[in-house]
Structure formats: C-alpha cells, structure tokens
Structure 1
Amino acid sequence: MDWPVPHDIAVDERVRQAGLRPTRQRVALANLLFAKGDRHLSAEELHEEAVNAGVPVSLATVYNALHQFTKAGLLRILAVEGSKTYFDTNTSDHHHFYIEGENKIFDISSGPVRVVNLPEPPEDMEIANVDIIVRLRPKQKA
C-alpha cells in the first residue's frame, strides 16, 4: 500500500482512544474529516474527497467507517431528508440550518434554541438529545 496518508499522531491517537483500530483507511478518512475543523459531510462527499486525495476506498468502506466513528462518539449523525444523512464532526449539543434544494447544512450559531413542552419519555428511558433542523429556502418574490 503506497497511497498517500498524511501521518497525524493526533488523529491516530484520536481513533485509538475511541476504541477503534487505527487502520490506514480509518486514519486517512479521519484526517479528511477532522483536518478542516467542524464540518458536515455526506458519505458520498467524503468518498469523493478520499478519491481526489488518492485514497483507494470504496463507498461501502466510507459508510462503514462513518458509522464506526459515530458509534465511537467521534461524529454525530444528522438525518435531514428521508435518505439524506450528514455526519457532523462537532458532537456538542447544537442545532442546524438546512438550505432546501442546495443540500447545504450549517450550524446555528446565534445562541441557544429553547425547546419547551417536551413529552415525558417512556418509563426507563431518558431524552439523550434533541436535534433541531431549521429548513431554509429563498424568499418567494411577490
């Protein structure tokens, strides 16, 4: 295997600390994911970035790695449309804007969003998180 993989000890260690074996493909994908700060990517977008970076990886492997990273707590899944899923590198509690028709998602940064009157969860359950996605579209001209 002689494809380029940037060696980043921090990413190797981050993958290892999450309980995952730092394989070359996982480390290469983690480098692509986390090197540019907080971002929102679909599996297809990450696959395209990997191919463009010379990382020989299948789309199925990208999906598997993203789900492993999510299960390990490195990513957060955002289900936007029926089959459209984004992976968020910022795992803190925060909410999002989504621009319909452009498939763009970004963080709401203008302060906390208040959610009131949440239903009581079923017995023996607790609310883990509340995800709010505010959908945007261009204003209709009158």
Structure 2
Amino acid sequence: MRPTRQRIILCELLFARGDRHVTAEMLYGEAVEANLQLSMATVYNTLNQFTQAGLLRRIGPDGSRSFFDTNTSVHPHFYFDGEDILIDVPETLLLDQMPEALPGHVISRLDIIIHIRRKRAAT
C-alpha cells in the first residue's frame, strides 16, 4: 500500500486517539473538519484497504452499517440498537466451550455482538 498524503492523514485520524469504532461517514466528517479535501469513495477505499492489510477490523452489527475497529484483537462488543453506537464490552467475557467447525472447515474468527437498548421509563 502506497503511503499517499490522504492515507497518512486518514491513518492519523483513525489511530491518534487510541482504540475506537468509526463508520466511513464518521471518518469523512473528521476529515472535512480537518480541511482535508477527499471524497467519500476515498474514505471507503482506504478503510477497506486498511482492513485487508489487517490494520482494522470490520464489524457489521445490524447488517446495514459497518464499523471499523482499530483494536483488531478478538473482543466482544455492545451495540446500542436504534442509536448506531458500538462500544467494547468492558468486562472479560469467558466462553466455556467453542463449537467445532463443520467438517472440512476451520473457524477463521469470532465476533460477539451483544445488542442492547435503553430501558423505557416506567410510567
């Protein structure tokens, strides 16, 4: 991957603040705020290239939107339904048993997304 000016700036925006979960739209907004002239397609392409290179992990909690996680380790997430917020589960999650892969297959990765919603106020 060639280190273009746009990729370097997007990389700085992504990784300068520690572990985070961003959408392409969020990163594009940050780039616009930083007066970077680029297209939304460039943001998508860069995020996809960073993901293919193993720098990011794509997470699709609801099937319609992708978040890109700067922490590529295996860890669970909370997804706030209706709010489009994805955060790391703060506690360690223990799995007693992993299922066996189907014959002729291996488990390539594990994603655990716990969907939550805010409690409704009692009336």
- Over 3 Å counting, the alpha-carbon distance change for 1:138 and 1:86 in structure 2 is same
CA displacement, residues 63-106 of structure 1 (integer Å, 9 cap, x when unaligned)? 00000000000000001112210000000110100111111110
Q: Name 1:140's counterpart in structure 2.
A: 120
Q: Give 1:44 deviation, angstroms.
A: 0.5
Relative to the length of structure 1, the TM-score reads 0.80
**Residue 111 of structure 2 is aligned with which of 124, 127, 131?**
131
Ranked by relative contact order (alpha carbons within 8 Å, sequence separation 6 or more), the top structure is 2
Q: Structure 1: which 5+ residue stretches go unaligned?
A: 1-19
Q: Give 1:140 deviation, angstroms.
A: 3.4
Q: Give 1:122 deviation, angstroms.
A: 3.9
- Over 3 Å counting, the alpha-carbon distance change for 1:40 and 1:115 in structure 2 is farther
Which residue identity is paired with 2:107? I
- Once structures 1 and 2 are overlaid, which stretch shifts more, 80-89 or 64-73? 80-89
Correspondence 1:60 to 2:60: no
Percent of pairs with identical residues: 49
- Equivalent pairs counted in the alignment come to 122
CA displacement, residues 9-41 of structure 1 (integer Å, 9 cap, x when unaligned)? xxxxxxxxxxx2111010010000000100000
Give every structure 1 segment of 4 or more consecutive aligned residues whose post-TM-superposition deviation is greater than 2 Å.
119-122
Q: Structure 2: which 5+ residue stretches go unaligned?
A: none
Q: Name 2:70's counterpart in structure 1.
A: 89
Tell me how far apart the structure 2 counterparts of residues 120 and 127 of structure 1 sit (CA, whole Å): 6
**Residue 76 of structure 1 is aligned with which of 38, 47, 57?**
57
Which residue identity is paired with 1:130? L
